Amino acid sequence: MSHDKIRAATRKRMAETGEPYIAARREVIKERQRAAGEAPFPGTAWFAISFGPDRITAWLDTLAGGGPGRSGVEVDPDELRVRMGDYKLNVPRSSVRSVARSQARVGRTTGVHVGPRGTLLVNGSANGLVELSLEPPCHTGRTLSTMFVNRKVTSLMVSLVDPDGFIAAVEGHGHT
């Protein structure tokens, strides 16, 4: 979206809501990105994490800075950036060895879970699971979501609204 269109939409929102310019501009950009399924930066693709019908989980994730519309995976030519609440994981594209739909059963659990043998699950529901095999492995980082333990990740499972589009985007750059 061009700068002139953003500025015009921002001024219109300011007139309607009385918000300051910065707040109105931020909301205009967020609304446009969500509506178009765009990523925050040009040349990238944004894939939202799927959330189930459980409103309490989505509400709690929103309180933690995530939730629907803010949690997802950004795919660019060099890196995959996984975001959910305060959790962030950057995966170099060169580490992705395979990507496919997952048949794993995760039950009703949601959030960020570090499992045995280097498996990381980032989900808001049990639907649309995609699994990526990583070599060389990545590391989780020391955050509250991982209980401050830096663990090796050889397999990443993510629940996505558009799993087939994500697979196509990852495979489209020739790194799988």
pLDDT digits (tens, 9 = 90+) for 106-153: 777 777 888 878 899 898 888 889 999 999 988 887 776 666 777 888
Q: What CATH number was assigned to the domain covering residues 41-171?
A: 2.30.29.30
User: Whole-prediction pTM value?
Assistant: 0.68
Tokens 């489209």 map to which residue? 172
Domain ranges, ordered by start, for the chain: 1-36, 41-171
Coil vs helix vs strand at 73: strand
Task: Answer yes or no: are the C-beta atoms of 110 and 127 closer than 8 Å.
Answer: no
**Residue 30 near residue 48 (C-beta atoms within 8 A):** no
Are the CB atoms for 79 and 85 separated by under 8 Å?
no
Which amino acid appears at position 105 of this protein? R
Residue whose entry in the numeric block shows the structure tokens 């959030």: 111
| 52-104 tens-digit pLDDT | 776 666 666 666 666 666 788 999 888 999 988 778 899 999 999 999 998 88
Pairing of strands 96-101, 111-114: unpaired
